[in-house]
Chain A
Amino acid sequence: MNNKTTRTFSAAALALALGSALTVAALPAQAAGDMEKCFGVALKGQNDCAAGAGTTCAGTSKTDYQGDAWKLVPKGTCDKTASHTSSTGFGQLAAFTAKS
């Protein structure tokens, strides 16, 4: 048996964790530092009774798929931004918000 599996939470440890979580929750505007990134990504309804945007006859013949998917190359915009100074530390809790 793996040693790690024997690690357990005592009743006291669970109570301490829940108690401290409730204390954090009761604080006004808690963890503002972690939660300040807000982004307005609103979802809209996707069912319409109209033609799709950009629907024209001419557009159709131009955009018809020619069966050469292997020639496709993704733009890969994020590759250019990669570096080794990551902000993705395991220690922190980062929050990102998509607002309605």
Chain B
Amino acid sequence: MMHSSTASLIAPRISQLPPRAGLGLKAEHFKDVLESLPDVGFFEVHAENYMVAGGPFHHYLGLIRERYPLSIHGVGLSIGSDTPLNIEHLQRLQTLLARYRPRVFSEHLAWSSHGPHFLNDLLPLRYDLSTLQRVCAHIDQVQNTLQRQILLENPATYVEFDQTHFDEASFIHEVITRSGCGLLLDVNNVYVSCVNHDRDPLAYINALPLHAVGELHLAGFAEDIDQSGQRLLIDSHGAPVDQAVWALYQQVLECVGPVATLIERDNQLPVFSELLAQAELADCYLLTTRERT
């Protein structure tokens, strides 16, 4: 297969999603969604949950896809892996995207597989030159195979590495410039990482290639204290969006304008109406931004 940079394939502006609030679609809420058809801008699903042959997941996603814009979010591609990408998995992804034709496909700046083993978590990268080349080569491979631009999500991290050549924001800047992918800016991840590593979230955000932002994520975190007595935030997706993250979100909107925003909730799932209320709040901020711009 011919290997060429996909940067030329890609339209400069990125998101095909409406500038509205969307919700992560959970199987527990399939019926709520179809029965109430809430006014939500889009739904997002995790690709790997739909890599099954048939049954209820495809049944419900097919119905919801007919009624709402869809975003597919991968959690298993392991773009940062120091071993080759799993070709079989990439092909499954290609099949899934061909079936549901989502407006956006996104993945993570992280690794989760090593050799044959999948670790089911988004693990951190050392931001050096060899990682940069590897990540860009993998994104090229993904974008060439899928024949589309992907969005890459900034991670939530708990440790950093020695011998790094870039801080995270400049690393992301390089990746996006070189590979032509877009940015999924997870505002909760920014907050979590900046608290964990004692950095200024706004400075971090301003160092990102904000012109490439195609989607925003908001979620809740868990809070702990590490053994040195420092605050340690964990990206748990198990709580409502924190006030500090809402505040940061408003600052982000001022920089990037109204961009499709996902409310993520994976653990301690509340009733559907509670998630809707969070989406409505995000919609309010988006509307205010739209009026101002």
Q: Cα distance A21–B54 when bound, in Å?
A: 28
Q: A48, B75: Cβ atoms under 8 Å?
A: yes
Min C-beta distance of B144 to chain A, whole Å: 24
**Is A46 positioned at the interface, with any CB of B under 8 Å from its CB?**
yes
Q: A56, B49: Cβ atoms under 8 Å?
A: no
User: Given A48-B266, A48-B267, A43–B232 Cβ distance below 8 Å?
Assistant: no
**Is B138 positioned at the interface, with any CB of A under 8 Å from its CB?**
no
User: Given A42-B27, A57-B232, A49–B224 Cβ distance below 8 Å?
Assistant: no
User: Which residues of B are found within 8 Å of A47, using beta-carbon distances?
Assistant: 46-49, 75-76, 120
Q: Cα distance A17–B98 when bound, in Å?
A: 45
Total count of chain B residues near the partner, CB < 8 A: 35
Q: Cα distance A69–B56 when bound, in Å?
A: 38
Q: B234, A49: Cβ atoms under 8 Å?
A: no
**Is A63 positioned at the interface, with any CB of B under 8 Å from its CB?**
no
Main secondary structure of the interface of B (DSSP, over half): mixed
User: Given A45-B26, A57-B224, A51–B236 Cβ distance below 8 Å?
Assistant: yes
Q: Cα distance A46–B45 when bound, in Å?
A: 11
User: Given A53-B267, A56-B234, A45–B224 Cβ distance below 8 Å?
Assistant: no
**Is B126 positioned at the interface, with any CB of A under 8 Å from its CB?**
no
**Is B20 positioned at the interface, with any CB of A under 8 Å from its CB?**
no
**Is A100 positioned at the interface, with any CB of B under 8 Å from its CB?**
yes
User: Which residues of B are found within 8 Å of A75, using beta-carbon distances?
Assistant: none
Main secondary structure of the interface of A (DSSP, over half): loop
User: Which residues of B are found within 8 Å of A55, using beta-carbon distances?
Assistant: 222, 234, 236
User: Which residues of A are found within 8 Å of B219, using beta-carbon distances?
Assistant: 50
Say which residue of A45, A52, A57 sits within 8 Å of B49 (CB atoms): A45
Q: Cα distance A45–B175 when bound, in Å?
A: 30
Min C-beta distance of B74 to chain A, whole Å: 9
**Is B243 positioned at the interface, with any CB of A under 8 Å from its CB?**
no
Measuring CB to CB, which residues of chain B are less than 8 angstroms from any residue of chain A?
Answer: 26-28, 45-50, 55-57, 73, 75-76, 108, 120-122, 219, 222, 224-227, 232, 234-238, 264, 266-268
Measuring CB to CB, which residues of chain A are less than 8 angstroms from any residue of chain B?
Answer: 42-53, 55-58, 100
